[in-house]
Amino acid sequence: MAGLNPAQPQQLDAIKQALAATFDPKTTNEVRQQALQLLDRLKHDPEAPPLGFGLVTDASLGQAVRFYGAQLLEFAIKNSWDKYDESQRNQLREWVKTLATTLGQNDALLWNKAAQLWVELSKRCWGDLGWREMDSLLASFWDWPLSPEGIKHKIFVLQVLGALTEDIIINEDAIAGLRVETLGPCLNEILVPPQVYSKLRKKRGDRNEVRSNGSGWLLRIKDVLVDCLTSATPDQSEPMIDCALKALETLQVIFSWIGMDSVADAGCIEWLFLPITSNNLQLKIAAVEALYMLLRRPHHPHAHDAWLTVRKECEQLRRVMALKDAFVQANCAPEECDEKHTLQVKISELLSVMAETIIKDGHWTPDLPAFFELTLLVAQSKSLLVSIPVLHSWCTVMSAGHPSFAPVMSWALGPLITMCGERLIRYEAISRGSEDEIMAFLEEDFDTDSERHSFLAHYRRYCTRVIQSITSSWLQEALDHVLSQMCKILGEGPFTFDRGFDPVTYTRNSLPLLMFDATFSIVSSALDGFASWLVKPREQTGEEIIQKHLAVNQMLWQWAHVLMKIPVDDPKVASQVVQTLVSIMRMSQPDGPLVRDLTVHIFSLRFRKDDHNQHYSEAVAGFECVRVAEMQKLAYVLAPLLASEITSLEPIVSALAEEHRYDARLCWGCRAFLFAIIHRTPSDGDDELRLRYMTDMVNPVVESWKSPGLAESVQSLPNLCKQLCLDDLGDFYRKSGFDQTEDWSQGLLDVEGQAKQSAIKAAVDGLPLRMTKSMLGASIDHLAVSAEAYQRARMFWAPVTPIILERSLQLLTQVQAFYNMTNWSHLPPELQATVHRTLQDRFWQSGISHESKEAFFDRVEGSKSSYEGFASTVRGALRNVRELCYNSLFQFSKLQKPFYDLHELGPMMASAIFKDAHHLATSQMQPIVSLITMIVQRCPPDKRRSFLTPILNHFFLTMDAKLQTEWDAVAKTEEQTNRALEDEMRAESTLRQLTVSVMSFVNTLLDLRGDDPSNFILEEMAVFEPLMVLCTHALRFRDTRCCTVACRSFRRLMPRFEDADAVREYMCSEVLKSAITSVHDPYFTDVQRELSGLIAQILVKGKRRETAGAVLESLPDMVAGRVNTTVKAIESARNERTQRALVLELLDGVRGMTIQEAGKINNTEKKSTPRERKKGKGKWESMDAANEQPLDGIQAMFG
């Protein structure tokens, strides 16, 4: 490699032909492979570098050949640098420098490649390894005049500086990480202004100089940016703009880390606002992005003064007005210029960051009113995508309640409540093509309904938070305003027969109903703000607070009287009025007469279903559920006041319960209301009478659990199927032709099918599950352990707890066995497939489902009498039984001692819950995770080992097997039609939710603090071993959050097992294998920091160097001795960044492509559609389906 080695004619022809073959779509695969092999062989040739230089500098050759020449140089630098001697390295540097000086204006691709080569050289030898003049060379390129050729050189320098910054500071680049202690200071020194550099030079002491003479790159970039913006002639405008854009792009990267003192000293804010006042939209966007990057980053405490200087410069009135002018000038119609809309979004994001810093500082300046006026203007934008960043900021402003901002909050109160109230309307329920401008923007801003629905849910959440915060600060004014609005709309809207309400034409998405729904959301948010006010710290005296609270209560009572007097014939509106009234009563400490009037009023409301209008009938059913639920809430809080009226209330409530005797939820909800009043009223000395009354009410529940019929039905799956009218399911399917019908929504049930459907529903209601849930809830929900009612409930339920739990667990065992298809093996294959199809849930998912939530439920309700409706009834029956059994366990665990003291309950629960749990769908296993989490958290420390060990052992074994199976299935799924894609996305989404929930539970268990369960977990191997195996597999589950939690869990565990040989052996073998596999999977690019950190910790602290070394040495192309050398280097490294870099360097190239390269390739792909973006990870998953082979075959995975 001593000198130039131009290609021989024959060799050059071969290279040209090979490149042509690789690019020609008509080339056969065999020929293309031969061509690629030839090109690859040349890269490994010792004479490849001079050949590459000869090719890339020969202007007579085509771009493809010259680019290949640059690739030869790049390959040599990346893969052979350590093998070269000093003279060969110097030669490579000379070639790269020469290349940068010989390229022409039309060599765009080669300019980019030359910058990459420069960066690769810099990472390896800049600073203390011989290349100290690098900065001087860049400065010589920079000093070219602002001619077209000079601009090319400046863009080249900017690209080098930007890429160096990314690799040294931002990315986990392995090569840069090895020398980060040298490269970081060098980069900082060449960038900062002279005054800052002089301070650095004094601190650093004697060291070789790497900075050239001059002002530093931050000021150089400033100068060229100003020149490009102020001195461009018409014929230079395009190159000048390109240069200015590249300067802003580079500044954006630099601003992510450079010291605030450098930013302040260079006067960056002054010249960053020049592009914002220009007429070029791209420059405006780039400048705003650079400012955003600068202001959003954290800063060191010692730089706080410089940070304040920078921030206050941005807040100056002229700067705020410049942003306002740019925003107003970018106003556009929904279908107009995308760049204008993008600029408005970017300005909104910038203002949001500025607002957060202002709020944290809490210091008022005269310029701030103009700033907040601008944020309000932006928040009122008709594009909710533009509005949402600053809307979030107003949430923060209002919730901070800083006295300095009182004037701002005062004048913004009205506009914000008005705006948020108007935008709480459910836009997804408004039909497309509406003339509303907000709707038009929504249709333009989002390509799919699912994206739009997810966004609107977030936007409404911010609106409610703003209203809550406003109410918490301006309590009486806000509550009075929103309640008066509700009463006005209620009194004037078409919600009574007299004002045009008609059940026949009722629709739940009518505009008046949507508007009242938004008003209800405003009132609910305001009442939540009142609740926050009740508990927040006070600055006023106790007497002032008492008087204010009393005034608010009296106002709320008055509005409650007004609401009760307004007639309502719309059941949906009536539901929301009832919810409002109950919320007012629960918060305002009413007197007995008001509570009595309210209770009588609510129970006296009557609506009748209309068989001719499904929507109206659903609204009536919804009202009944809301009424019962809200009255139970009232009983929990106001039991003493209601107890004085129990004599008059009991006949009314009992009559309503009788009216709903065929609906277990409503019937027992009414009874639970009376039970809660009796049970929660403080003792008056006659506890025997109270206990007798309560016993009479609960006796039907206990007797139902003790019944011989129930005992027999839970002994086997056939018996349970008979109890639920499902014993002849196969015959029914065959007779009705389910197995012959492809579209079940089109098959209609006959009279027999509809009767069977009703029988199934009645059979489920006949089980004592619903009544148990209602009475247990009335007994213990929302009670403190120290409460008299809680102690009474524990004593009351303790005698019947064993029989109820035993039957519940038997029932749960059988109902989950229904999902095990081996229990249906007696049916012919076509009917087995029908049963399996029956068990496939239909559910709506925000952000994925193509239809709105209302449309989904409409479709479900509309198919009730079809085959799909029958299948839904079967699923619903099984789901209700299963989840009500979970609820019984959850409720009884609240009793603590009567639950956890039961002998053998732990093993019984483990068997019942997990025996067939792996046959459930992932969406059906989420309640199990929630249940086990609560069971573990409530378990007394002295019961953990005996009670929790079997439960957690089964939990981890079951979840590990389930998650592995499901992730394997996702990896093998192939994309078909759009609907198939939607189903695939939904399945993957629920799998991710389950995976994250399980790993979050693991993280909670391993939170090593005090008397938490973690110590028991680590000591009990029956629990710890399956937990370790699950975490090992979690490193390979294709979810970055899950992988991150697994890495952190292992790193947290490592110090605890310094003397546990078996555990360390496992970590140095199986855990290491999984981590290495994920490091080289492109999907895990974003978590390579965590993975490489885990690998480094295993190598350093695992104390099993032979085991870990054997794993590493088994990798393909791993050079003997390299592992040992790297491990020693990791042990001696002074920081974790260097350790991670050493790991990545050791593993680099095992599969022929580094993780860094994989990430860069992905980032340069064409812009994907929203649906493609959602499927991006799924595409990666289908590329590597071999991820769950036995871990001892790790070498084969990289073959």
Domain ranges of the chain: 1-125, 132-259+266-297, 697-902, 903-1034, 1059-1199
| The pLDDT of residue 1190 is above 60 | no
Nearest to 1066 by CA among 1103, 1091, 1012, 1100: 1103
Token code pair at residue 1108: 């870990």
Query: What's the confidence (pLDDT) of residue 1151?
Result: 40
* pLDDT at site 5: 56
pLDDT attached to residue 1183: 27
pLDDT at 15 over 70: yes
Within 8 A by CB and 6+ apart from 243, the residues are: 146, 151, 154, 155, 158, 224, 228
Q: Are 804 and 905 in contact (CB under 8 A)?
A: no
| Predicted confidence (pLDDT) at residue 2 exceeds the cutoff of 60 | no
Answer whether residue 53 shows pLDDT above 70: yes
CA pair distance 651, 646, nearest whole angstrom: 9
Q: Which of 172-176, 756-760, 1135-1139 has the highest mean predicted lDDT (pLDDT)? A: 756-760
**HSE (CB half, 13 Å, CA atoms) of 694?**
23
- Coil, helix or strand at residue 748: strand
Q: Backbone phi, then psi, for 748, in 5-degree steps?
A: -100, 140
> How confident is the model over 859-869, as a mean pLDDT?
81
Residue 1174: what pLDDT? 33
Let me know: does 283 contact 248? Beta carbons within 8 Å: yes
Distance CA 349, CA 1135 (A): 35
Q: What pLDDT, on a 0 to 100 scale, did the predictor assign at position 812? A: 97
Query: What phi and psi values does residue 825 have, to the nearest 5 degrees?
Result: -70, -15
- Check: CB of residue 221 under 8 Å from CB of residue 157: no
Q: What is the band of 848 on the pLDDT scale with cuts at 50, 70, 90? A: low
Torsion sign, CA atoms 1062, 1064, 1067, 1070: negative
pLDDT confidence tier of residue 621, bands split at 50, 70 and 90: very high
User: Which residues, including other chains, have CB under 8 Å from residue 567's CB and lie 6 or more apart?
Assistant: 496
Give the integer Cα–Cα distance in Å for 794 and 512. 48
122-162 tens-digit pLDDT: 999 998 777 899 999 999 999 998 888 899 999 999 999 99
Structure tokens at 376: 């309000």
pLDDT, average across residues 980-1009: 83
Can you spell out the DSSP letters for 17-65? Answer: HHHHHHH-TTS-HHHHHHHHHHHHHHHHSTTHHHHHHHHHT-TTS-HHH
Asked if the model's pLDDT at residue 1011 lies above 60, the reply is no
Instruction: Give me the percent of the chain exceeding a pLDDT of 90.
Output: 66
For residue 346, which of 273, 279, 292, 277 has the smallest C-alpha distance? 292
Alpha helices in 592-728 (DSSP H): 592-604, 614-643, 646-659, 664-680, 687-706, 708-713, 717-723
Angle value at C-alpha 747, between 745 and 752, nearest 5 degrees: 120
Q: How confident is the model at residue 1157 (pLDDT cuts 50, 70, 90)?
A: very low
- Cα radius of gyration rounded to whole Å, the chain: 35
Q: What is the mean pLDDT of residues 501-516?
A: 92
Mean pLDDT, rounded, for 776-784: 94
pLDDT in tens, 421-477: 999 999 988 877 677 899 999 989 988 887 888 899 999 999 999 999 999 888 888
- 126 beta partners: 131
**pLDDT score, position 546:** 86
pLDDT, one tens digit per residue, over 555-566 is 999 999 999 999
Question: What's the length of the chain?
Answer: 1199
pLDDT of residue 1118: 83
What crossing angle do the helices spanning 614-643 and 646-659 adopt, rounded to 10°?
160
pLDDT in tens, 83-119: 999 999 999 999 999 999 888 888 888 999 999 999 9
**How far apart, in whole angstroms, are the C-alpha atoms of residue 732 and residue 726?**
9
Q: Please write the tens of the pLDDT for every residue from 279-295.
A: 999 999 999 999 999 99
Q: What burial class does residue 442 get, using C-beta atoms within 10 Å of its C-beta: 0-12 exposed, 13-18 middle, 19+ buried?
A: buried
Confidence category of residue 1085, pLDDT binned at 50, 70, 90: confident
pLDDT value at residue 1148: 79
Q: Give me the helices (H) in 1006-1135, please.
A: 1014-1019, 1021-1034, 1040-1053, 1061-1066, 1072-1079, 1088-1101, 1105-1113, 1122-1132
d(CA 282, CA 241): 9
Q: What pLDDT score was predicted for residue 1149? A: 63
- Burial of 166-191, coded b for 16+ CB within 10 Å and e otherwise, reads ebbbebbbbbbbbbbebbbebbbbbb
* Amino acid 140: pLDDT: 94
- Of 359, 249, 375, 368, which is closest to residue 323 (Cα–Cα)? 375
Residue 1084 dihedral angles phi and psi, to the nearest 5°: -95, 20
DSSP 8-state symbol, 131: B
Instruction: Tell me what percent of the residues of the chain surpass a pLDDT of 70.
Output: 90
Region of poorest pLDDT, from 158-167, 600-609, 801-810: 600-609
pLDDT digits (tens, 9 = 90+) for 388-436: 999 999 998 888 777 777 777 788 888 999 999 999 999 988 877 677 8
**Residue in this structure with the two tokens 């014939």, named with its chain if needed:** 569
Rounded Cα distance between 590 and 69, Å, is 85
Residue 172: predicted pLDDT = 81
Taking residues 975-987, report their average pLDDT: 61
Q: Which amino acid appears at position 135 of this protein? A: D
Maximal CA-CA distance, the chain: 111
Q: How far is CA 31 from CA 18, 26, 34, 311, in A?
A: 9, 10, 5, 61
In this structure, how many other beta carbons lie within 10 angstroms of the beta carbon of residue 474? 19
N-term to C-term CA, the chain: 32
165: enclosing H helix or E strand: helix 148-165
User: Running DSSP on this structure, what letter comes out for residue 1022?
Assistant: H
Identify which has the larger pLDDT, 746 or 327: 327
Query: At 126, is the secondary structure helix, strand, or coil?
Result: strand
pLDDT of 1198 reads 25
Identify the pLDDT of residue 431.
Answer: 78
pLDDT for position 1150 = 57
Q: Could you tell me how far CA 197 lies from the centroid of its own chain? A: 42
pLDDT for 970 equals: 85
pLDDT value at 1196 more than 50: no
**697 band by pLDDT with thresholds 50, 70 and 90:** very high
Give the rounded distance of the alpha carbon of 95 from its chain centre.
Answer: 48
Q: What does the pLDDT read at residue 203? A: 80
CB atoms under 10 Å from CB of 581, counted, come to 21
Q: SS3 letters for 209-233?
A: CCCCCCCCHHHHHHHHHHHHHHCCC
Q: Does residue 218 surpass a pLDDT of 90? A: yes
Average pLDDT over residues 631-657: 92
Convert the pLDDT of each residue in 233-258 to its tens digit: 555 688 899 999 999 999 999 999 99
pLDDT for position 1187? 34
* Residue whose token pair is 């309503």: 656
> H-helix or E-strand containing 287?
helix 281-296
Q: Which of 385-389, 836-840, 1049-1053, 1137-1141 has the highest mean pLDDT?
A: 385-389
C-beta of residue 522 within 8 angstroms of C-beta of residue 557:
no
Residue with tokens 């209609």: 748
pLDDT of residue 1186: 31
Q: Is the pLDDT of residue 1195 over 70?
A: no
> Given pLDDT bands bounded at 50, 70 and 90, which one contains residue 298?
confident
pTM equals 0.85
Is 911 within 8 Å of 917 (Cβ atoms)?
Answer: no
Stretch 47-72: mean pLDDT: 93
Write down the pLDDT at residue 1014: 66
pLDDT for the residue 1008? 54
866 DSSP assignment = B
Cβ atoms within 10 Å, residue 1155: 24
Give me the pLDDT at residue 93, please.
94
Half-sphere exposure of 48 (CA within 13 A, CB side): 22
